Amino acid sequence: MSETTIDTNALGEQIVKVLKSIFDPEIPVDIYELGLIYDVFVNEDYDVKILMTLTTPNCPVAETLPMEVEEKVKSLDNVKSAEVEITFDPPWSQDLMSEEAKLELGML
C-alpha cells in the first residue's frame, strides 16, 4: 500500500478555504459565507464540481465570478479539474447567508 491517497473530505476543506478567499465585489463578505455556494462535489479522481448561484441573474460579476472560482479551485495541487455550474434554483436570498455574514453586514 505505497499509493498515497488524498482524503476527499480534506480536499473539500481546502476547497472551502479557497472559496472563503473570494469576495463578492459589491458586498464585503466572501461568497461562501454569503451562501452563494450550494454544493461542492469531489469524486475519487479529484474532479471538482461546484454548484453555485449569484445574488441576482444580472449580477455584474456573472461572467467573471464563476471563472475566478474555477481558476482558484483548479490551482489547488490535488484538484484534477474544476467545473462551476450556475443555478438560480433556488434563487439566492439573504436567508442563505451565514450568521457571520449577517453580523458583518449589520443585519443581526
In order of their start, the domains of the chain are 8-92 (3.30.300.130)
- Point out which residues pair with 81 in neighbouring strands: 47
54-102 confidence digits (pLDDT tens)? 998 888 888 899 999 999 999 999 999 999 999 999 999 999 999 999 9
pLDDT at 63: 86
Residue 90 C-alpha from the chain's centroid: 16
Dihedral angle over CA of 101, 25, 62, 12, nearest 10: -50
Residue 23 DSSP one-character state:
B
> How confident is residue 4, by pLDDT bands cut at 50, 70 and 90?
low
pLDDT at 6: 66
**Residue 44 Cα distances to 3, 15, 57, 76, 86, angstroms:** 14, 15, 32, 15, 23
* pTM, rounded to two decimals: 0.89
